Amino acid sequence: MKNFLQPGHNVPGVAPYPLASGNGYLDGAEFAIASNDAAAGASVVGVTNGVFSLPKAAVAITRKTVAYWDNTNRNVTNSASGNTKIGLFRDGALAGDATVAVKLIPSI
């Protein structure tokens, strides 16, 4: 195909705040995981597909339920209110767990 540009799993973007490699972030409406460190406003390559261990809110998580990004607290949660849907929780987690595995599912 002459119009194919790229698979879209690794996309260029702009860091909305300082990022370390492995941090989640929203670039506009797109959620990604930073593949490199980046200062706020700098270029960053975001990974938009795969399973990642991400910081989570202090809530219990049921496996295979919808995961949302809380951009204010920069963590994942099971609460849709005011948050952005980013994928599914691969595993369950206790409220006291600091991280949880999330399978990213690009949307729009």
pLDDT at 108 over 80: no
Burial (0-12, 13-18, 19+ Cβ within 10 Å), 26 = middle
pLDDT at 106 over 70: yes
Sheet holding 75-77, edge to edge: 50-55, 99-104, 84-89, 66-70, 75-77
Q: What tokens does 22 get?
A: 């492995």
Alpha-carbon span 27 to 39, nearest angstrom: 14
107, 85 contact by CB (below 8 A):
yes
Predicted local confidence at residue 7, as pLDDT = 79
Global pTM value: 0.92
Alpha-carbon span 50 to 37, nearest angstrom: 19
pLDDT tens track for 77-99: 999 999 999 999 999 999 999 99
